[in-house]
Chains A and B, each alone.
Chain A
Amino acid sequence: MDVSRREFLIISGVLGAGAALSSLGLDLGPVKAYADQLKIDKMKTAKHTTTICAYCSVGCGMIASTDTKSGKIINIEGDPDHPINGGALCAKGASLFQTTAANPNRLTKVLYRAPYSDKWQEKSWDWAIGEIAKRVKATRDAGFMEKNDKGQVVNRVETIAHLGSSNIDNEEVAVLNSMVRALGLVYIDHQARV
């Protein structure tokens, strides 16, 4: 196996060190399965994308490698050009790969739990958006407060609460904020306060 150091790191990252180590004579079968789906014949087919870590607020730079054939992320590592981390990552950052589609625990479908039910049901996005919108409207219209007890116009809703999120992008924060204010919500909080 003729690989450069960087390619070695990419391969070992993909496989949780599986393939690289198996080429050294160790059998790490289970981690190989994900790699087999990727059909990586040449690592040069990987597309590099810069990203920023999803954990604390240091803002470390990272490079994600995506296999151009399967479209799957095969490795994430520190960005050596980044002025803050210079390629270094902590334990969580170095594990970011396990938040991607490679982790079978990811949520991949809309799930719904009906009142008094003991299980989740799979639903479509159209259904979910439609049903959520109906509930928001019904709750908002029923609880809408035009004036407070002093007679001041307040145009607010105290029966819907909103929590989150420090874990979405600024652009998403912006539209979410527009939504909650337009709905008239006042119980609005997020991780900054915990």
Chain B
Amino acid sequence: MTNHWVDLRNSDCLLIMGSNAAENHPISMRWIMQAKENGAKVISVDPRYTRTSAISDYYAALRSGTDIAFLGGMINYILEKNKYFKEYVENYTNASYIVGDKYDFNDGLFSGYNKEARKYDASNWAFRRDDKGVPEKDPTYQNPRCVLQLLKNHYSRYTPEKVSEITGTPVEDLLNVYEMYSSSGTRDRAGSVLYALGWTHHTTGTQIIRTSAIVQLLLGNIGIAGGGINALRGQPNVQGSTDGCLLFNIIPGYLKVPRSSQQTLEVYLKENTPKTAEPQSANWYQNTPKYMVSLLKTWFGDKAIKENDFGYAWVPKADDGKTYSWLDMCDVMYSGKINGMFIWSQNPAGSHPNTNKVVKALTNLEWLVHANIFNNETASFWHGPGLDPKKIKTEVFLLPAACSVEREGSLSNSGRLAQWRFKAAEPPGKATPDGDMVYRLVRKLKELYKKEGGKCPEPILNLQWDYGDDKGKFDPHKAAMETNGYFLKDVTLKDPTGKDVNFKKGDLVPTFGFLQADGSTSCGNWLYCASYTNAGNMMARRGKEDPTGLGLFPNWAWCWPVNRRIIYNRASCDPSGQPWNPKRAILKWEGGKWVGDVPDGPWPPMSDKEKGKLPFIMKPDGVAFLYGPGMVDGPFPEHYEPYENPLGMNPMSGQVSNPAFKIFKSDMDKVASGDPNFPFVCSTNGLAEHWCSGAFTRWQPWLLEAQPELFVEISPQLAGEISVKNGDQVKVASIRGEVECVAMVTPRIRPFKIAGKTIHQVAMPYAFGWLIPKSDKNYSTNLLTPAVGDANTMCPEYKGFMVNVKKV
């Protein structure tokens, strides 16, 4: 979230799309309902009429996988009707930038496409820059190559009629939603976008979110109270574990993973430290060397010295341009080339796409280590339905973990709020926190490598591992302090006002502004620097003060970065530092300083041409991107059909699906588009009573009783066509697998008119399996889903694949 949960109440209009917040984030409704009481309008856009739709002021249906078309139509509406926030767009976005001559777009493809590699050469999409490297601009927007003109041109194709033909949304509904939501494009109104897995689970997922970013920027809704793009995330610490980057492509603090071509730290830093010639850009990532060297100091301690590149050579290098995501690793496992695997509290045999392939891949492992609080379908895959344990070699170590109230530590919510939780009881039996397991395992590995030697032992032997308490257990406070970072020697540094400040060796670093690139500081994650300081554990604070009256609660726990509650908040003010909307001022330049939320940087407002900085500090040129040349699949979002789609064609262009996602080609990766054997669109969804694949919640009688078994929602019209009654047992099949479940015939879901044809959609939760309740049949909906992912993120396409439904 750019904003935070309580801030939803400050909104005038909430567009909830790709999210069923009432079902999956029920407590968010506390603030959404308060916004409604204050007069806000709530819009729900969803293939189903959900619990969120039920409390909305306006509901519009769309077919799964057509969100870019829906929102592209909104961009067209905003530009055509001149509804955009002109001062905001002019000052804070790249609307006036001139795009270079190589950019082009033709029939669904951008310039620079290589069909064999399914990749674009994004250098074709660069801005035109002058001799000094400053982007050329046309503030009058007369130049046909300026971003605003290209944007208008691109989305002029997204007429309400064309959009309706793709999404199945009646034109009247489209226009009503566009009108309601674009009313937030004035200085005194705020519009908030709320999304969840309904947007990320597509081969175009990242570009759907980009489309919403374009809408929000045009309407001046980023950085303001009651605005923003708010990802409602679904796991307790998915935000923190993303910030901590337990991911193949990034290392802590969203630093890029070192690639094979970056053989030295110097090359790595050169390629990953953006430069700008824009005089008023802060270009925050110019600090990358400080963050990277401080991270290497946390990892390798005294062994990381300037002479050895701070241990950079010991960090594994991923091949350039290669992805190592779950979809990739599952495919490699399936081909038998991965021997061992760790899985921590995740249930891929229930929650990952194409479950038959997942299970087959697991049988190819020599060993699997799994830690969890309950057993699940992944740890027990070897005796699942249809498998003979006597034929499966995989050794499984199932480690009993402490549950959330049996351990101590912090977790970060969607609003980037890191909150400390305390331990209420000892875990039962021999269960122990995951941190303790890791702590012990690394100590054992160090012992083995010291005794026996082995391949490249340095990173293991030199890994700084002072994380134990006096009883030899993992101490989360030590890890939290390492994450915050230390001064490693006595230093005198300048504070932002230019005054000298002295720090002693062993002091905790007060904020990331003091991190150094010379090895004199450590920091496990620069974004969390300031979370645990000499003043104490900021994440454990419980202050209820609310000085702005806007629900920022600055003394409650701690928020990254530097306790800033709304990011890009200087965009809530005009260039002279005065809030666009004085009634909801989160920030104001007053008496030579910023008052309110922690500002994005200490600089004065940008009307100060010498010291002032642009608000979008994480972008090299300081402005937000309407035109985004950094994406792998095009600088403007474009509608493509899901990989598996009902028509086998795209009503918008000759390019059916996103041209840049990776296609897996194993014998188990079948697809069926426009195939009469699989005529219905299917989408998966969550349930209030279950969590993800149900691996925790199915073990709890209170919850299982409320939602005991798998079902498929089908419309009365479809039920009539296939002669199914409410409550009948049906079989849902895709080309990859099939699953039995109960039919729920409900008017919450209805047929769509797509390109002149009637297309039915069905919907299924994915919270069931076979281990509990115990069954000889597998009730995992993911037996049906395709293992294909978004072009930018590799997030699987669980929303929008093709099935058939038949009575059993």
How far apart are the CA atoms of A142 and B239 in the complex, in Å?
Answer: 35
Q: What chain A residues lie within 8 Å of B298 (beta carbons)?
A: 178
Q: In the complex the two chains form, is A106's CB within 8 Å of B374's CB?
A: yes
Interface of A is mostly: mixed
Question: A183 touches which one: B367, B460, B525, B706 (CB < 8 A)?
Answer: B460
Question: A107 touches which one: B343, B398, B697 (CB < 8 A)?
Answer: B398
Q: In the complex the two chains form, is A153's CB within 8 Å of B317's CB?
A: yes
Q: In the complex the two chains form, is B796's CB within 8 Å of A189's CB?
A: no
Q: Mark A158-177, 1 if CB is under 8 A from B, else 0.
A: 11111111111111111111
Q: In the complex the two chains form, is B448's CB within 8 Å of A164's CB?
A: no
B536 interface residue per 8 A CB criterion: no
Q: In the complex the two chains form, is A57's CB within 8 Å of B232's CB?
A: yes
Given contacts A155-B314, A194-B326, contact A164 B6 (CB under 8 A): no
B204 interface residue per 8 A CB criterion: no
Q: In the complex the two chains form, is B435's CB within 8 Å of A169's CB?
A: yes
How far apart are the CA atoms of A47 and B426 in the complex, in Å?
Answer: 13
Q: In the complex the two chains form, is B373's CB within 8 Å of A106's CB?
A: yes
Q: In the complex the two chains form, is A108's CB within 8 Å of B428's CB?
A: yes
**Nearest Cβ in chain B — how far from A90, in angstroms?**
4
Question: A158 touches which one: B338, B428, B551 (CB < 8 A)?
Answer: B338
Q: What chain A residues lie within 8 Å of B392 (beta carbons)?
A: 115-116
B440 interface residue per 8 A CB criterion: yes
Given contacts A169-B476, A189-B329, contact A103 B700 (CB under 8 A): yes
Q: In the complex the two chains form, is B421's CB within 8 Å of A51's CB?
A: yes
Q: What chain B residues lie within 8 Å of A192 (beta carbons)?
A: 238, 241-242, 247
Given contacts A164-B342, A181-B315, A191-B346, contact A111 B398 (CB under 8 A): yes
A59 and chain B: residue at smallest CB distance: B413
B401 interface residue per 8 A CB criterion: yes
Q: What chain A residues lie within 8 Å of B251 (beta carbons)?
A: 177, 181
Question: A83 touches which one: B346, B430, B556, B692 (CB < 8 A)?
Answer: B556
How far apart are the CA atoms of A153 and B393 in the complex, in Å?
Answer: 33
Question: B233 touches which one: A47, A56, A60, A178 (CB < 8 A)?
Answer: A56
Question: A109 touches which one: B30, B430, B449 (CB < 8 A)?
Answer: B430
Q: In the complex the two chains form, is A136's CB within 8 Å of B445's CB?
A: yes
Q: Mark B550-582, 1 if CB is under 8 A from A, else 0.
A: 010100100000000000000000000000000
The contact size tier of chain B is 35 or more
A76 interface residue per 8 A CB criterion: yes
Q: In the complex the two chains form, is B319's CB within 8 Å of A182's CB?
A: no
Query: Which among B238, B432, B483, B688 has the greatest number of chain A C-beta atoms within 10 A?
Result: B238
Given contacts A58-B27, A170-B528, contact A115 B352 (CB under 8 A): no
Question: B240 touches which one: A107, A109, A140, A173 (CB < 8 A)?
Answer: A173
Q: In the complex the two chains form, is B263's CB within 8 Å of A152's CB?
A: yes
B120 interface residue per 8 A CB criterion: no
Q: In the complex the two chains form, is A106's CB within 8 Å of B414's CB?
A: no
Q: In the complex the two chains form, is B248's CB within 8 Å of A56's CB?
A: no
User: Within residues 224 to 268 of chain B, which ones have a CB less than 8 A from any CB in chain A?
Assistant: 232-248, 251-252, 260-261, 263
Q: In the complex the two chains form, is B480's CB within 8 Å of A170's CB?
A: yes
A19 interface residue per 8 A CB criterion: no
Q: In the complex the two chains form, is B318's CB within 8 Å of A110's CB?
A: no
Q: What chain B residues lie within 8 Å of A165 (beta carbons)?
A: 241, 246, 344-346, 434
Q: In the complex the two chains form, is B435's CB within 8 Å of A92's CB?
A: no
A81 interface residue per 8 A CB criterion: yes
B300 and chain A: residue at smallest CB distance: A182
Question: A155 touches which one: B316, B440, B483, B688 (CB < 8 A)?
Answer: B316
Stretch at the interface among B95-103, B212-220, B403-411: B403-411
B118 interface residue per 8 A CB criterion: no
Q: In the complex the two chains form, is A99's CB within 8 Å of B6's CB?
A: no
How far apart are the CA atoms of A183 and B438 in the complex, in Å?
Answer: 12
Q: In the complex the two chains form, is A174's CB within 8 Å of B403's CB?
A: no
Task: Count how many chain A residues have C-beta atoms less than 8 Å from C-beta atoms of the other chain.
Answer: 118
User: Within residues 67 to 113 of chain A, which ones have a CB less than 8 A from any CB in chain B?
Assistant: 71-73, 76, 81, 83-86, 88-93, 95-96, 98-101, 103, 105-113
B649 interface residue per 8 A CB criterion: no
Stretch at the interface among B175-183, B382-390, B626-634, B635-643: B382-390
A93 and chain B: residue at smallest CB distance: B27
Question: B30 touches which one: A85, A116, A163, A168 (CB < 8 A)?
Answer: A85
Q: What chain B residues lie within 8 Å of A171 (beta carbons)?
A: 409-410, 435, 476-477, 479-480, 483
Q: In the complex the two chains form, is B316's CB within 8 Å of A51's CB?
A: no
Question: A72 touches which one: B369, B425, B474 (CB < 8 A)?
Answer: B425
Given contacts A173-B241, A174-B252, A175-B474, contact A110 B366 (CB under 8 A): no
Given contacts A57-B413, A135-B366, A173-B240, contact A181 B299 (CB under 8 A): yes
Given contacts A154-B316, A175-B467, A177-B244, contact A56 B236 (CB under 8 A): yes
Stretch at the interface among A3-11, A20-28, A125-133: A125-133
Q: What chain B residues lie within 8 Å of A93 (beta carbons)?
A: 27
Stretch at the interface among B63-71, B451-459, B511-519: B451-459
B340 interface residue per 8 A CB criterion: yes
A50 interface residue per 8 A CB criterion: yes
Question: B237 touches which one: A16, A158, A167 (CB < 8 A)?
Answer: A167
Question: B542 touches which one: A81, A140, A174 (CB < 8 A)?
Answer: A81
Given contacts A105-B374, A174-B252, contact A187 B445 (CB under 8 A): no
User: Within residues 269 to 294 of chain B, which ones have a CB less than 8 A from any CB in chain A?
Assistant: none
Q: In the complex the two chains form, is A194's CB within 8 Å of B480's CB?
A: no
**Nearest Cβ in chain A — how far from B354, in angstroms?**
12
**Nearest Cβ in chain B — how far from A46, in angstroms?**
10
Smallest CB-CB A-B distances: 10 pairs: A108-B429, A169-B409, A59-B413, A164-B344, A171-B479, A64-B424, A90-B26, A54-B404, A165-B344, A107-B400
Q: List 19 A-B contacts (CB under 8 A).
A: A16-B702, A52-B404, A96-B404, A107-B373, A129-B444, A131-B397, A133-B448, A137-B454, A146-B456, A158-B337, A159-B337, A161-B332, A164-B346, A167-B345, A168-B241, A168-B345, A169-B237, A173-B241, A175-B435
* Interface contacts beyond A57-B25, A188-B248: sample of 12 additional A-B pairs, CB < 8 Å, sorted by A: A54-B696, A106-B374, A109-B400, A144-B455, A160-B339, A163-B329, A166-B238, A169-B421, A178-B442, A178-B464, A189-B326, A193-B789
